[in-house]
Amino acid sequence: MTVADVVLYGQWVFLAYFVGINTGYLMQNVIAAIGIRRYLQTADQYEAENAFSALDIPISVIVPAFNESASIITSVKAMLQLEYPQYELIVVNDGSTDDTLDKLIDEFGMRPFPEAYRARVPCAEVRGVYRSVKAGNLRVVDKENGGSKADASNAGINVCRYPLVCVVDADSVLQPDSLRRVVRPYLEDPKTVAVGGTVRIANGCTVRQGFLEKVGLPSNFLALAQVVEYLRAFLFGRMGWSPINGLLIISGAFGLFHKETLVEAGGYNPEAVGEDMELVLRLHRLMKEKQRDYRITFVPDPVCWTDAPENLRDLKSQRVRWQHGLGQALMLNRSLIFNRRGGAVSWVAIPFYLVFELLGPIVEVLGYVFILTCAFMGWLAWPEAAIFLGLAIGLGVLLSTSAIMLEEISFHMYPRFRQLFALYMMAIIENFGFRQLTAIWRLQGLVRWLRGGKHEWETLTRSASLAEEP
Amino acid sequence: MEWLLRSDFDVATTVALWSIAGVSVTTIVLFGYTMGLRIVTIRADSRRQRFLAEWRDIFASSALSASAAETCALPTIRAGSRIDLLEEWNLARSIVSGDAAGHLMVLARRAGIPEVATQLLQRQRMRSKILAVQTLGHLRDKTHRDPICDLVQHDNTALSITAAVALAEIDPAFAVNVLIPLIPVRRDWPKNRVSLLLRFLGSELISEPMYRTIRAADDDAKTYLLQFARLVEAEVLDALVVELIRDSSDPGVLSAALKLVSGFEGVPRIATLTHHPVWFVRMQAAKVLGRVGQQEHLALLEALLCDREWWVRYRAAQAVASLPFLGPNQLRRMQRESKDPFAADILQQAFAEVGLA
């Protein structure tokens, strides 16, 4: 095979990948647009007449916390004010080495509680359970460090009492009506076993007493790029898979699960790097194996705001971990791939994730190397290369533009024209550097998974732009 | 840029070139649409606020006075504001009752709201249909009873439940016989809205059809309907519960019926139900004993404290802690003397919950 042949075949491989991934994204976009339109048509009506009653399903909110001393009190105070008729809040202190537990005990009047504990899903040893004398629906589980959020979440599942379980990050900022919004699919369809909600970037927003007061955009370049990225990921990434019951990820920052199904699936996997995705895949697998009719669905409402990394070190760490988790989750649930009874999950969603999300970074980074090599060696046909590069960038901008439009049609959280312009500018600029960097980090994550790296709790540097007002 | 105009590109490159043009145009269109939408939304919001401020005053004065409803001057209603008007009228109508509701209906007829609602009902857009049905229901407009009755069967949940509520408003006596048999079929109807609907119809009207429907239903439908049975008249409920506990063997039905036991009527079979093979029946039996149990039932509860299922033990312990004839000292002694460690643990937890630890 000559060099010319290699270049020719290489071109066709990259072209096929390019056509495949963009066709997939454009289809998700169309499905998401239809889904959001349909959702919004009935949302107001549902809201207006869906007054609370004793028939609402009670929810256990689980907050795993490891060394969250700085934010835990504000977070718990905010979570105790959620708009929902019946819920309990369970904070799991996963062997924090700071004063997270002491702060909780002092602030909320926590007293040791003789919980008749039962271990339904595996987790590290529980040292004790505390109950608040100030807030009757607040309990704290103090346990040995299990090394992961999954282990802490499992301890929470073991002590919770209600039929629905909502696992949230301790540093998440929740919308006051988040539980009411995310419970809607359970009320509409009793076959629902898990629901995810849209997570937005909190950097640049004003947070008061744990609640979002004013939506803003971050001034930090990396955080702003992630705002556009999250719009794409949630508004059409997740919403595009949900109508065909092909949703593979429910963000660990906020997810609502049917408890008995969660327990039946064995709870979170403490060994999983991406425990959120691994759990959703395992739920799909369980339901398929038991041949049960089920729904894993998604609500487009912004229910949770999270802090995004603002420096390269933290962002790299996050992306490497996500890719590692993706590989591991797919491998652990590989029996789903092209499973005869697997439906859209097995035949559409997982193959797409496998080819374009898991292996995508290899093709993308190889593509960059290929182009640079060809350019260096003088093998590159510049006009053709410029055209394909232009198309790649153009499609990237189109997808982001579409996500911004979906946001404007649906929730218009960014009310100023200046904000809208900033998002559009970022939709263009992110194609020059940011996407290439994330592709390289994802490749590193893939390598780390193949080499069997281990995962532990990670503490990211809190963003300076997420202004907490007193 | 002359190279772009070359004609010797291969097919793939030519397609890519045209794709760039398509993608660029689409992006610009989407961008323009988004910006235009933003401008239109801002202007429409401002106009809407002015329009609604004017009408809110009219609704408020009309609700308070029949003469205001009949004679007040009405502003011109532009075509684009009609939906806003209907939404606002529905909001006002849903928060008033009695004479005020009647006044608002008079005002609605003067403002042409029934005609607007009738037009919206013909539209394909779901939101318009729902608004129309809601309005016609609030107007108690009997001429639309049959089309609304048809919409109760619609696949769209929001539309069908709104139609059910509207039907109940228009003709309650007719609606009970249509809607109650539909409740176990339409599991997509949010339970709290079904509950509100039944409350609206009233216990007097729903008791007999509920009793009849529950008795005739299969076990699954029985279990589902029993969730709403608390809304029927007390004597009908008691008779129904006794009958179901006596005759049913289905765990779901038994469990749902046990939740409704309020006196001793259903108790005779309780002793056997505390040994039922299905754990949630035993759990509900424990809860009943906590509510209505007497001294002679204590032994049954003590046995349930050693049950293999955590929830049965937990509910039995809560039941023990709530028994009126046992004082704190007796409860503590019971826990100390318990030979079963599971029973002792669960009693400790239940006592701690009521401040007895």
pLDDT digit string, tens, across residues B124-179? 888 889 999 999 999 998 888 999 999 999 988 889 999 999 999 999 999 999 99
Is A412 in CB contact (< 8 Å) with chain B? yes
A380 near B CB under 8 A: no
CB B161 within 8 A of CB B129: no
State the helix-helix crossing angle for B82-94 and B113-121, rounded to 10 degrees.
Answer: 110
- Set out the domains of chain A in order of their start, with CATH numbers: 20-51+172-354 (3.90.550)
Residues 6+ apart with CB under 8 A from A3: A379
pTM of the model: 0.84
CA distance A168 to chain B (A): 25
Q: Looking at chain A, which residue has its C-alpha nearest residue B21? A: A391
B296's CB contacts (< 8 A; 6+ apart) are none
For residue B332, the domain's CATH number is 1.25.10.10
Interface contact A37, partner B, CB < 8 A: no
Q: Using CA atoms, how far apart are residues A208 and B179, in angstroms rounded to an integer?
A: 46
Asked whether the beta carbons of residue B188 and residue A388 sit closer than 8 angstroms, the reply is: no
Q: How far is it between the farthest Cα atoms of chain A?
A: 78
Within a domain: B134:
no
| Number of C-beta neighbours around residue B192 at 10 A | 18
Classify residue B325: in a domain, yes or no. yes
Using a CB-CB cut-off of 8 Å, the residues of chain A touching B125 are 41
Is the CB of A417 inside 8 Å of chain B's CB atoms? Answer: yes
Are B352 and A394 inside 8 Å of each other by CB?
no
| Residue A469 pLDDT class (50, 70, 90 cuts) | very low
Residue B313 maps to a domain: yes
Say if residues A305 and A201 touch (Cβ distance below 8 Å): yes
User: Long-range contacts of range B274-280, CB-CB < 8 Å, 24 or more positions apart?
Assistant: B274/B300, B274/B303, B274/B304, B276/B251, B278/B251, B279/B307, B279/B309, B279/B311, B279/B312, B280/B251, B280/B255, B280/B311
- Which residue of chain A comes nearest to B189, CA vs CA? A188
The alpha-carbon gap from A121 to the nearest alpha carbon of chain B, in Å, equals 15
Instruction: Tell me the pairing of strands A254-258 and A295-306.
Output: unpaired
Distance from CA of A78 to the nearest CA of B (A): 24
Map tokens 């049965």 to a residue.
B312
Instruction: Residue B34: list chain A partners with CB under 8 A.
Output: 401, 404-405, 408, 420
Using the beta-carbon criterion (under 8 Å), do B188 and A189 form an inter-chain contact? yes
pLDDT, one tens digit per residue, over A144-183 is 999 899 999 999 999 999 999 999 999 889 999 899 889 9
Residues A388, B345: C-beta atoms closer than 8 Å:
no
Q: Percent helix, strand and coil across chain A, each rounded to 5?
A: 55, 15, 30
Beginning with the edge strand found earlier in the chain, give each strand of the sheet holding A211-214 in spatial order. A211-214, A206-208, A467-469
CA A401 to chain B, closest CA, distance in angstroms equals 7
First to last CA, chain B: 84
Beta strand A164-168 with A59-65 is parallel
Burial class (CB in 10 A: 0-12, 13-18, 19+), B55: buried
Q: Do A45 and B195 touch (CB under 8 A)?
A: no
Residues of B in contact with A49 (CB under 8 A): 162, 165, 193, 196
Cα separation, A274 vs A458, whole angstroms = 12
Task: Specify whether the CB–CB gap between A294 and A234 falls below 8 A.
Answer: no
Q: How far is A420 from chain B (nearest CA, A)?
A: 8
Q: Does B19 sit within 8 Å of A42, measured CB to CB?
A: no
pLDDT at A52: 44
In DSSP notation, B295-323 reads GGGHHHHHHHTT-SSHHHHHHHHHHHHH-
Across the interface, of A52, A188, A412, the residue whose CB is closest to B157 is: A188
Contacts of A55 in chain B (CB under 8 A): 191-192, 195, 227
Q: Which domain holds residue B336?
A: 261-357
Q: Is B17 within 8 Å of A387 when comparing Cβ atoms?
A: yes
> If you average pLDDT over residues A8-23, what whole number do you get?
84
Strand ranges in A398-458 using DSSP code E only, listed in sequence order: none
**Any chain B CB within 8 A of the CB of A219?**
no
Q: Indicate which of A38, A55, A186 best probes the interface with B, i.e. most B CBs within 10 Å of its own CB.
A: A55
Residue A192: how many CB atoms within 10 A of its CB?
A: 21
What pLDDT does A45 receive? 56
Does A34 lie at the interface with B, CB-CB under 8 angstroms? no
Interface size between A and B, measured as CB pairs under 8 A: 122
What does the DSSP 8-state code read for residue B124?
S
**H helices within chain B, ranges in order?**
11-64, 66-71, 82-94, 98-111, 113-121, 126-138, 145-151, 157-170, 172-182, 191-201, 203-216, 219-226, 234-247, 251-258, 270-273, 279-292, 298-304, 310-322, 328-337, 341-353
ipTM entry: 0.83
Per run of 10 residues, the mean pLDDT along chain B (length 357 residues) is 65 86 94 92 89 89 88 83 88 86 91 91 86 93 91 90 95 96 91 90 96 96 95 92 92 94 74 93 94 85 93 94 88 87 91 80
To the nearest 10°, report the CA torsion of B231, B232, B235, B236.
-140
- Residue in A49, A114, A409 nearest the CB of B357: A114
Put simply, whether A293 touches B (Cβ < 8 Å) is no
Say which residue the tokens 């369970």 belong to: A90
Residue A302: what pLDDT?
80
Name the residue of chain A whose CA is nearest to B159's CA: A42
Q: Which residues in chain A touch residue B127, judged by CB atoms under 8 angstroms apart?
A: 41-42, 44-45
Q: Which chain A residues have a beta carbon less than 8 Å from that of B157?
A: 42, 188
Using CB atoms, which residue from A42, A397, A420 is nearest to B38? A420
Contact at CB, B310 and A118, closer than 8 angstroms? yes
Number of domains present in the structure of chain B: 1
Instruction: Name the closest residue on chain A to residue B345, using Cα atoms.
Output: A116
Question: Which of B4, B192, B313 to probe the A interface (max A CBs under 10 A)?
Answer: B192
Closest residue in A to B194 (Cα) is: A55
CB–CB contact B190 A116 (8 Å):
no
A246 pLDDT more than 60: yes
Q: Which of B23, B191, B310 sits opposite A395 (nearest CB)?
A: B23
Q: Over 60: is that where the pLDDT of A49 sits?
A: no
CA distance A356 to A301: 27
B-chain residues near A397 (CB < 8 A): 23, 27
Q: How confident is the model at residue A467 (pLDDT cuts 50, 70, 90)?
A: very low
pLDDT band at A455 (very low <50, low <70, confident <90, very high): low
Q: Is residue B294 part of a domain?
A: yes
Contact B192 A395 (CB under 8 A): no
